[in-house]
């Protein structure tokens, strides 16, 4: 018997893992596969056992259930595996990029995001999407112009970006999003200490209030705000990240794989929170390796290939085929990220609902 716990995020690695599992199955081995990702479960499992709060909810045959039924078992109530509705109402431009370039990363990237709008950056991973958003936040140098609410913005560093109301939630919360040994209160308070301090003294009452509000707003499961973030589940850790950055009134939110490694119930809650930020007037940029997540959440999707925007699709018109096809169909040489992406197309499709073997 062999056991696997899905902990890979790259689509090519996922496909390779599936090949290994299938070969072991063909050799007569019994396989236990553990994952929060429903497409993976449906792609690889014959029978599915759902556990909730340490107890077995039930065991079902794969072909006897669909996404909604499985989600209901996982969260303990009826809940459609659906994305929040698009409002369709947008305000004036909040963020605009004009000719943004960074040699070796991306070239001549121009687009705008209005208040109330979620713009997704899609394509094969490694074609410039992540590099663009990290440059906006000031994590890497670039040429070109960034405008906030119509005025040139000299961001240039995370501190300046945060002060200007531009927030970036990185995909790797352990390495870049959280201080794991520290408490929830310390993690939520850190970016705001200068604003909360008076004469060099930090208001403990202000810290406690903001922490309690974030815990309540995102339903963080914790005994107290003084608990170490390292003791929380992945989903609750991500809620702490979101609680930190939704304190105040930011103008632009940038999310990179915001639901990576979280359970289904938390994932659906995060979808609603992101849409709520847009509905409240913020401009939202989303980078997601899960194509179905990108399609389901975005009002528009800008498709990247080799560091450039090569296509644009309205969210309701976007398909996996169009995103992957646009990403790999640009250029004629057989080298570089676009060519590598062609080999990953099958793996990328695993991010959506694959055909069941």
The pTM of the full predicted model, rounded to 2 decimals, is 0.73
Q: Is the pLDDT of residue 106 over 50?
A: yes
The tens digit of pLDDT for each residue in 140-197 reads 999 999 999 999 998 989 989 998 999 999 988 888 889 999 999 999 998 888 778 7
Per-residue pLDDT at 205:
86
Per-residue pLDDT at 12:
73
Per-residue pLDDT at 9:
55
- 3-state SS string over the chain? CEEEECCCCCHHHHHHHHHHHHHHHHCCCCEEEECCCHHHHHHHCCEEEEEECCEEEEEEEHHHCCHHHHHHHHHCCCCCCCCCCCCCCCCCEEEEEEEEEECCCEEEEEEEEECCCEEEEECCCCCCHHHHHHHHCCCCCCEEEEEECCEECCCCCHHHHHHCCEEEECCCHHHHHCCCCCEHHHHHHHHHHHHHEECCEECHHHHHHHHHHHHHHCCCCCCCCCCEHHHCCHHHHHHHHHHHHCCCCCCEEEEECCCCCCCHHHHHHHHHHHHHHHHCCCEEEEECCCHHHHHHHCCEEEEEECCEEEEEEEHHHCCHHHHHHHHHCCCCCCCCHHHHHHHHHHHHHCCCCCCCC
Write down all domains in the chain, each with its CATH number in brackets.
2-75 (3.40.50.300), 93-349 (3.40.50.300)
């Amino acid at each position: 018997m062999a056991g696997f716990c899905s902990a890979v995020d790259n689509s090519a690695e996922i496909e390779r893992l599936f090949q290994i599992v299938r070969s072991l199955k063909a050799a007569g081995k019994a396989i236990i596969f553990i994952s929060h990702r429903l497409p993976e479960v449906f792609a690889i499992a014959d029978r599915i056992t759902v556990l909730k709060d340490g107890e077995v909810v039930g065991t079902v045959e794969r072909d006897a259930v669909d996404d909604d039924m499985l989600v209901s078992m996982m969260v303990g109530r009826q809940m459609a595996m659906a994305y929040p509705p698009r409002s369709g109402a947008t305000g004036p431009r909040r963020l605009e990029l004009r000719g943004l370039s960074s040699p070796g990363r991306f070239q001549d990237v121009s687009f705008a995001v209005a208040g109330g709008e979620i713009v997704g950056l899609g394509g094969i991973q490694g074609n410039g999407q992540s590099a663009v958003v990290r440059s906006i936040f000031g994590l890497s140098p670039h040429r070109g112009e960034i405008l906030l609410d119509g005025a040139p913005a000299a961001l240039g560093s995370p501190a300046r970006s945060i002060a200007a109301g531009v927030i970036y939630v990185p995909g790797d919360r352990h390495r870049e999003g959280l201080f794991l040994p520290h408490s929830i209160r310390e993690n939520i308070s850190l970016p705001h200490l200068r604003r909360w301090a008076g004469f060099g003294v930090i208001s403990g009452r202000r810290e406690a209030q903001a922490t309690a509000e974030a815990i309540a707003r995102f339903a963080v499961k914790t005994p107290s705000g003084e608990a170490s973030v390292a003791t929380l589940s992945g989903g609750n850790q991500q809620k702490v990240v979101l609680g930190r950055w939704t304190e105040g009134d930011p103008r632009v939110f940038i999310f990179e794989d915001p639901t990576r490694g979280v359970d289904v119930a938390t994932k659906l809650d995060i979808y609603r929170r992101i849409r709520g930020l847009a509905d409240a007037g913020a401009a939202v940029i989303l980078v997601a390796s899960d194509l179905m997540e990108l399609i389901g959440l975005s009002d528009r999707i800008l498709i990247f290939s080799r560091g450039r925007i090569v296509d644009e699709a309205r969210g309701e018109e976007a398909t996996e085929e169009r995103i992957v096809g646009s990403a790999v169909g640009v250029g004629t040489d057989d080298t570089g990220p676009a060519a590598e992406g062609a080999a990953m197309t099958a793996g990328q499709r695993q991010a959506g609902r694959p055909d069941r073997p």
